[in-house]
Amino acid sequence: MIPFLLAEGEPQAQTLSDFLASPVVLLLGLGLLAYFFLLRPQKGQQKAYQEMLDNLKKNDKIRTVGGIYGTVVSVTPETGDVVIRIDETNNTKIRITRRAVATIVNNEEKESPSKKG
């Protein structure tokens, strides 16, 4: 009761436009926009990347995050290691973590930058 006694004048009715212009509604709106434009697409990309790593198999041609091209020799799911052959003539192989695989590359994709030039 005390707040009503201390209030001056009659209480104002809040209109819909006042409610929509409030900072709380604006912050909620910005939060929803950020979710739909930033977080959802990123989750989709992460899901596609994880699916690509799960489907990695022998003889896939890959590119690592360091830019090394190679062919998968073996995949060890328990340790997350992938052995790739990077040189066909010397049969040079390296072992990398599964997370170091950037993409699976087809022969056409590997040759396309030189054709565009």
State pLDDT tens for residues 93-104: 999 999 999 999
Quote the domain boundaries for residue 40. Answer: 15-52
pLDDT at 69 over 70: yes
27 lies in the same domain as 45: yes
pLDDT digits (tens, 9 = 90+) for 77-96: 889 899 999 998 999 999 99
33 lies in the same domain as 20: yes
70 burial level (CB within 10 Å; 0-12, 13-18, 19+): buried
Does residue 43 fall inside a structural domain? yes
42 lies in the same domain as 72: no
48 lies in the same domain as 68: no
pLDDT of residue 22: 75
pLDDT of residue 117: 42
98 lies in the same domain as 63: yes
83 in Cβ contact with 95 (< 8 Å): yes
Mean pLDDT of the chain: 81
In eight-state DSSP terms, residue 100 is: G
Average pLDDT of 10-38? 75
pLDDT of residue 36: 85
- pLDDT tier for residue 9 given thresholds of 50, 70 and 90: low
52 in Cβ contact with 104 (< 8 Å): yes
97 in Cβ contact with 64 (< 8 Å): no
99 lies in the same domain as 82: yes
27 lies in the same domain as 63: no
34 lies in the same domain as 20: yes
Domain of 74, CATH number, reads: 2.30.30.30
pLDDT of residue 38: 84
- Position 34: which residue type? A
Angstrom distance (rounded) from CA 54 to CA 60: 13
Does residue 9 fall inside a structural domain? no
Q: Is the pTM of this model over 0.75?
A: no
